[in-house]
Amino acid sequence: MSYRIGERGREVSLSEGLDLLRNSDGYALIHDDKVVRAALAGNQEDIVMLPEKLATFYYGFAVDCGTEFEEVFSERIRRLKESGIIGRASERWFPSFPKERQPVARGIEVQLRHCSGAFIIVGVGICGAIVAVLIEYLFFRFSPRLCPRLPT
């Protein structure tokens, strides 16, 4: 997905998106970070990778549960991880991207105590309404001139 600042996003291929990044101003490319790092392979020029993640997707292999193949496959993957082969391959295929910057967006944590003013205003309003109802009740109950009773 490629975005030009102030415009709508459009779907482009990785090579077209990288060309837009390198040759145009104001473009952003949204793609799998590992694939972009491998495609750039140190030729990053003025491209900055942001550390924020939009989504996390996990890669996997489909294997029938409870089969002998699942056990053999899991054991083999475990041995490859323990021996460090998977880590070395990952470092070779997905090189580190040295030019990263700190996150731009900072979140604000809102807790219930931050909203106490709103609760106080609502409470004062409810108390005021109760007092007004009581005053009207007492006023019209004990004021025969303002509220004459009809003869029965």
- What residue type is assigned to position 77 of the chain? I
Q: Which two tokens stand for residue 108?
A: 């604000």
* pLDDT tens, residue by residue, 61-119: 788 888 888 888 888 888 988 998 888 877 776 666 555 555 555 667 777 777 888 89
Please report the pLDDT score of residue 39 as a whole number: 77
**Does the reported pTM lie above 0.75?**
no
Helix (H, G, I), strand (E, B) or coil at 114: helix
- H/E run at residue 127: helix 116-141
Per-residue pLDDT tens digits for 129-146: 999 999 998 888 777 666
Rounded to whole angstroms, the Cα distance separating 100 from 44 reads: 11
- 38 close to 94: Cβ distance less than 8 angstroms: yes
Q: What is the pLDDT of residue 18?
A: 82
Could you give the CA distance from residue 71 to residue 69 in angstroms, rounded to a whole number? 5
Confidence of residue 120 (pLDDT cuts 50, 70, 90): very high
Do 86 and 59 form a contact (C-beta atoms < 8 A)? no
Confidence label for 5 from pLDDT (cuts 50, 70 and 90)? low
Q: How far apart are CA 23 and CA 18, in angstroms?
A: 9
